[in-house]
Amino acid sequence: MNPDLSPLADALAEAEVDGYLLDADSGESDQLYLSGFDAPDPFVTLYTPEETALLVSGLEYGRATEESRADEVARLSDYGFQEKVGEYGRTEGKHRVVAEFLDDYGVESVAAPERFPLGTADGVREQGVSVEVLDEDVVTEIRAVKTDEEVEHVHAAQRANEAAMRAAEELLESATVEDGVLYRDGEQLTSERVKEEIEVTLLRHGCALDETIVACGADAAGPHNRGSGPLRADETIVIDIFPRDKSTKYHGDMTRTFVKGEASEEVRRRYDLTREAFEAALDAVEPGATGKEVHDAVCDVYEREGYDTLRSDPAADTGFIHSTGHGIGLDVHELPRVSPEGGELKPGHVVTIEPGLYDPEVGGIRIEDLVVVTEDGYENLTDYPIRLELA
């Protein structure tokens, strides 16, 4: 993968600095993206308009040379790390190594992200390097536009997601109902049990996830409530799954809402309306449209039928009380925004579209697919039926 990093070069020119510096492990997605190197411990990446160079421990040197996208890889020992630790102590020794590494590339001033480690910044400043915070998410913005390979990674994660949603739906479908509560194999069917089934299915498809939402009834009315306890018939059950492919590190994301048994008239009404809002949002997705316009399309549908949105009432705690969507990739939430602040959509942007309605008295409803913006519209990366009632 060879991303177009010219916006970063432009930002450095604008800030009048020689390079961009990262010091993080690959859990920080900008680091993983810029270095192309997946490592559990922090390492240093220097980007200049001429080249990308890494500074790693001896332990990681071989792998960094083979796997990273850097033009050059240096070892701490190349700059006399052990000797410097002996002379100046571990902390200052390390900072002197980083400063010499920068000097090697003719770099006297760097920009760094907001969350760059203070110790390294103050340490290399002591050595005469100028460090300033780059007050824009330039790398994150570059990451928002996916290459074909990245879109394929998201697509693959979404396919695993479909298998997990199917497993969850089958569990609900095969459940029996006693006194309004779902049962399976003689035991109450709980949110926890359905989540376990989802996680096991994802594992078998090479994906992992930290959390899943399986929320029933009033639980489902809090958009971020993960849900717990026995599932009940005739109430909405929101299932929101956002797995990460363990090898590529890209995410999928999908939500469906089910009712085991019979939905009330109001639930049915809200579901159909959410489906309509969902389609309206998709219809609005195309290059040149803004995330705000897509979000407004959803608000228009809901407000027309008298439901609150955060647009009609910023203090609303029922109705449509979140954004329409978000970018997704190495992070489960990333740019671009599909919200009141959402800017222009570009080909290669991968976003969720997930309108929903919430009310503790009625339950929660949300429908979510994942799409990629194309040259002339969008392609839906999700292939999963949208239906409410399970017999």
Stretch in the footprint of a second copy (CB under 8 A) among 64-72, 168-176, 198-206, 362-370: 198-206
8 A C-beta contact, residue 19 and residue 102 = yes
77 binds a second copy per the rule CB under 8 A: no
Binders of a second copy in range 24-63 (CB under 8 A): 27, 42
122 binds a second copy per the rule CB under 8 A: yes
1 binds a second copy per the rule CB under 8 A: no
What's the burial of 31, exposed, middle or buried (CB within 10 Å: 0-12/13-18/19+)?
Answer: buried
Q: Six-digit token pair at 79?
A: 């700059």
336 binds a second copy per the rule CB under 8 A: no
66 binds a second copy per the rule CB under 8 A: no
208 binds a second copy per the rule CB under 8 A: yes
Cβ proximity to a second copy, 131 vs 273, nearer residue: 131
Of 351, 344, 348, 345, nearest to 327 by C-alpha is 351
Minimum distance from residue 304 beta carbon to a second copy (Å): 28
User: Cβ atoms within 10 A of the Cβ of 176, count?
Assistant: 13
Stretch in the footprint of a second copy (CB under 8 A) among 101-109, 166-174, 192-200, 288-296: 192-200
Burial code (b: 16+ CB inside 10 Å, e: under 16) for 128-165 equals ebebeebeeebbbbbbbbbeeebbebbbbbbbbbbbbb
8 A C-beta contact, residue 19 and residue 129 = no
Q: Six-digit token pair at 235?
A: 């109430």
User: What CA–CA distance (Å, rounded) separates 144 from 334?
Assistant: 7
228 binds a second copy per the rule CB under 8 A: no
Cβ proximity to a second copy, 83 vs 122, nearer residue: 122
Among 9, 177, 181, 203, binds a second copy (CB under 8 A): 203
What's the burial of 82, exposed, middle or buried (CB within 10 Å: 0-12/13-18/19+)?
Answer: exposed
Stretch in the footprint of a second copy (CB under 8 A) among 8-16, 119-127, 150-158, 371-379: 119-127
Among 113, 227, 355, 356, binds a second copy (CB under 8 A): 113
Cβ proximity to a second copy, 141 vs 196, nearer residue: 196
Among 58, 86, 106, 117, binds a second copy (CB under 8 A): 117
126 binds a second copy per the rule CB under 8 A: no
346 binds a second copy per the rule CB under 8 A: no
133 binds a second copy per the rule CB under 8 A: yes
Stretch in the footprint of a second copy (CB under 8 A) among 10-18, 112-120, 349-357, 361-369: 112-120
Cβ proximity to a second copy, 117 vs 180, nearer residue: 117
Stretch in the footprint of a second copy (CB under 8 A) among 143-151, 199-207, 257-265, 270-278: 199-207
Of 391, 354, 388, 390, nearest to 268 by C-alpha is 388
Q: Six-digit token pair at 69?
A: 């996208």
User: What CA–CA distance (Å, rounded) separates 312 from 317?
Assistant: 12
> Tokens 């019979």 sit at which residue?
262
Strand locations in 19-116 (E): 19-24, 43-47, 52-56, 72-75, 109-112
Q: How far apart are the first and last CA of the chain?
A: 46
Instruction: Give me the residues that bind a second copy (CB under 8 A), please.
Output: 27, 42, 91, 112-122, 131, 133, 135, 196, 199-200, 203-204, 208, 210
